[in-house]
Amino acid sequence: MALDVEKLRKMTPPMGMPFKIQRLGHVVLRVSDLDRSVTFYTQILGFKVSDVYPEDLQPGGFAFLRCNTDHHCLALVGSGPGESKQIELHHMAFEVGTLEEVFRVRDRLRERNIPRSFEGRRRAGCQISVEFHDPDNHCIEIYWGLDQVGTNGPVRPASEWKGVRSLEEAIAHPVSGQDTYIGK
């Protein structure tokens, strides 16, 4: 069956919804080595540990991490040996406050010899980002500058996306309305 792209684009929530989802609350990942993964997320990405369940409370252990004032935005569940199958989660993305921080993430990954699977500007959303994998092969995106859309506002047309494959190109070829100036 062929994918009806136009039908999907026109999907909207039903009128009179009794609630409104505000934002993604948290992501919980199953990891093969809890210690290794907590080390990665704290030492490489700067997350802070809020709480940890011991193995008698949760087999494999359970670590709650935060990047803001919420108790946690990421939780890691230890599952024992073996690589993550990665069959359901495509990637998770974390926003940083400035374009300069995206460069600092890239620098940190280089210093730690962590390969990047992408850097630059994706298409829809036009965020400038760096993507890489954690020790269990979960894809992580660190981004800045995601397009904002009002409640019923139009989105940027595809003709303005300007996808590029380096941070330097993203700065040299900004999309309309995206200030990519970095003061030196």
Binned at pLDDT 50, 70 and 90, residue 86 comes out as: low
Residues 16-30 have a mean pLDDT of 82
Q: CB neighbours of 165 closer than 8 A, spacing ≥ 6? A: 118, 119, 120
Tell me: pLDDT of 184 over 80: no
The pLDDT score that the predictor gives to residue 52 is: 95
**What band does 75 get if pLDDT is binned at 50, 70 and 90?**
very high
In sequence order, what DSSP letters do the residues of 76-141 get, joined into one string?
A: EEE--SS----SS---EEEE-S-HHHHHHHHHHHHHTTPPEEEEEE-STT--EEEEEE-TT--EEE
Mind listing the domains of the chain with CATH numbers? 25-82 (3.10.180.10), 83-149+156-184 (3.10.180.10)
> At 82, is the pLDDT very low, low, confident or very high (cuts 50, 70, 90)?
low
In this prediction, residues 86-107 reach a mean pLDDT of: 88
Residue 4: alpha-carbon gap to chain centroid: 27
Quick one: pLDDT at residue 130? 96
- d(CA 87, CA 110) in angstroms, rounded, equals 27
Average pLDDT value for residue range 106-121 = 96
CB-count exposure of residue 91 (10 Å: 0-12, 13-18, 19+): middle
**pLDDT at 65 exceeding the cut of 70:** yes
Segment 151-171 shows an average pLDDT of 91
pLDDT of residue 22: 75
**pLDDT tier, 58 (very low <50, low <70, confident <90, very high otherwise):** confident
